């Protein structure tokens, strides 16, 4: 029983990181109606950027976010302008291919620079732990959860309390109508992509402390993130957070009760069960037109 409780608690804590990464992905989908298959690669890129900074400056990995988040924001805006904006027809399908190509390019570049050996971000709190109800929780999970919660809160605040957030939500609801009432949709899209990629950087740091990673790690990551946002309903931030929690709790509990081998499988089973009952996901709206 303690084991299950521990698994649930760990699931919630690590779920925070996935909630953050998935929110960036679902925000990008919501605003632009594109699936950013390169999101996992961007998370890994963020982790490697922090890795490079930490190994040269010997500072705390979380502190490196001061540099990597703005850098990744700028990269995101640039990527949107160069690769996503030119897609006029058949956006949804073509964007999948473009972002997939970006993922491959990032994987190749990282492999060329850092080789495909596994690395991990080091910090004092990575293994240090404190006791809770008779088991120990590593500080890194708590710090990571706190950081992700803070960034998520900032994101929600931006979306619901600022006029830029209003423009984003208007674009998500109806692109054409938003344009008609004077929202600069192109600008909003570029900035939203930047915000999404910046959250990938933040997620990357925590991911990099809790996991060892290599340039190919993005395949596993993106398949998890995509299934999270499909479970939650594409374009729904609330759905992304809930979906992430369900995924991490399910996998952690399965790992304890059955076997770590079947952990991700259990989540896929839940995903398929949800899709049979609710094809649009937990919080999704039914897609009528495919335009």
Partner 1 sequence: MRRMSRTGAIKAGALVAGLALALVLPFVAPDPATTNIAVFTVMYVGLATAWNIMGGYTGYISLGHAAFFGFGAYALGLLLSHFGIAAGFQPFFFVPVAGILTAVIAVAIGWIALRTRAATFVIVTIACMFMLQLLAENLVGLTGGGAGLSFPVPRWSGDFFNIPYYFAMLALALVGLALSWWIRGSKFGLGLLAIRDDEDKALAVGVPTRAFKLTAFVISAVLVGMIGAVYGYYVTYIYPQFVIDPLVGISMVLMVFLGGMGTLWGPVLGAVILEPAQLWLAYNFGASRLYLVFYAAVFLVVILLLPRGIIPSVMELLRRRRQHRAEGPTGRASDTHETPRAVPRGAAP
Residues of this chain that interact with partner 1 (CB under 8 A) are 29, 33, 35, 83, 86-90, 92-94, 96-98, 100-102, 104-105, 107-112, 116, 215, 219, 223, 226-227, 229-230, 234, 261-262, 264-265, 268, 271-272, 275-276, 279-281, 284, 287-290
Q: 3-class SS at 106?
A: helix
- Shortest distance (Å) from residue 102 CB to partner 1: 7
- Shortest distance (Å) from residue 53 CB to partner 1: 22
Distance of CA 196 to the CA centre of its chain: 8
- Shortest distance (Å) from residue 41 CB to partner 1: 10
Nearer to partner 1, 179 or 280 (CB): 280
Query: Do residues 40 and 229 lie in contact, with contact meaning Cβ atoms separated by under 8 Å?
Result: no
- Shortest distance (Å) from residue 259 CB to partner 1: 9
Nearer to partner 1, 50 or 264 (CB): 264
Nearer to partner 1, 148 or 274 (CB): 274
Based on its alpha-carbon atoms, the radius of gyration of the chain, rounded to whole angstroms, reads 19
Nearer to partner 1, 144 or 215 (CB): 215
Query: Do residues 28 and 34 lie in contact, with contact meaning Cβ atoms separated by under 8 Å?
Result: yes
State the Cα–Cα distance between residues 133 and 248, nearest whole angstrom: 21
- Shortest distance (Å) from residue 256 CB to partner 1: 17
Nearer to partner 1, 86 or 134 (CB): 86
The first and second tokens of residue 185, run together, are: 């949709």
Closest to 24 in 3D by CA, of 222, 167, 177: 222
Q: Tell whether the torsion through CA atoms of 236, 244, 21 and 156 is positive or negative.
A: positive
- Shortest distance (Å) from residue 105 CB to partner 1: 3
Nearer to partner 1, 111 or 166 (CB): 111
Query: Do residues 43 and 175 lie in contact, with contact meaning Cβ atoms separated by under 8 Å?
Result: no
Nearer to partner 1, 37 or 191 (CB): 37
Burial label for 244, CB within 10 Å (0-12, 13-18, 19+), is: buried
Burial label for 223, CB within 10 Å (0-12, 13-18, 19+), is: middle
- Shortest distance (Å) from residue 50 CB to partner 1: 20
Q: Write down the H helix ranges in 58-162.
A: 65-79, 91-114, 139-161
Give kind and range of the element (H or E) at residue 135.
strand 135-138
């Amino acid at each position: 029983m303690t084991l299950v409780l521990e698994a649930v608690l760990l699931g919630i804590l690590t779920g925070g990181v996935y909630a953050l990464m998935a929110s960036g992905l679902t925000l990008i989908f919501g605003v632009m109606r594109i699936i950013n298959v390169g999101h996992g690669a961007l998370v890994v890129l963020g982790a490697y950027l922090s890795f490079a900074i930490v190994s040269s400056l010997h500072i705390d990995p979380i502190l490196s976010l001061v540099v990597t988040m703005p850098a990744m924001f700028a990269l995101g805006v640039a990527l949107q302008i160069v690769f996503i904006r030119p897609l006029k027809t058949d956006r949804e399908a073509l964007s999948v291919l473009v972002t997939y190509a970006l993922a491959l390019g990032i994987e190749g570049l990282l492999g060329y620079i850092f080789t495909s050996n596994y690395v991990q971000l080091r910090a004092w709190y990575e293994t240090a732990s404190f006791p809770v109800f008779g088991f120990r929780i590593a500080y890194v999970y708590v710090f990571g959860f706190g950081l992700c919660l803070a960034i998520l809160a900032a994101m929600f605040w931006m979306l619901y309390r600022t006029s830029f957030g209003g423009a984003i939500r208007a674009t998500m609801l109806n692109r054409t109508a938003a344009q008609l009432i004077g929202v600069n949709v192109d600008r909003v899209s570029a900035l939203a992509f930047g915000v999404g990629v910046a959250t990938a950087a933040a997620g990357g740091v925590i991911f990099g402390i809790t996991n060892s990673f290599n340039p190919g790690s993005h395949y596993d990551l993106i398949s998890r993130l995509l299934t999270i946002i499909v479970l939650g309903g594409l374009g729904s931030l609330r759905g992304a957070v809930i979906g992430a929690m369900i995924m991490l709790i399910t996998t952690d509990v399965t790992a304890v009760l059955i076997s770590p081998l079947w952990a991700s499988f259990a989540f896929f089973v839940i995903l398929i069960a949800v899709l049979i009952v609710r094809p649009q996901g937990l919080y999704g709206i039914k897609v009528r037109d495919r335009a």
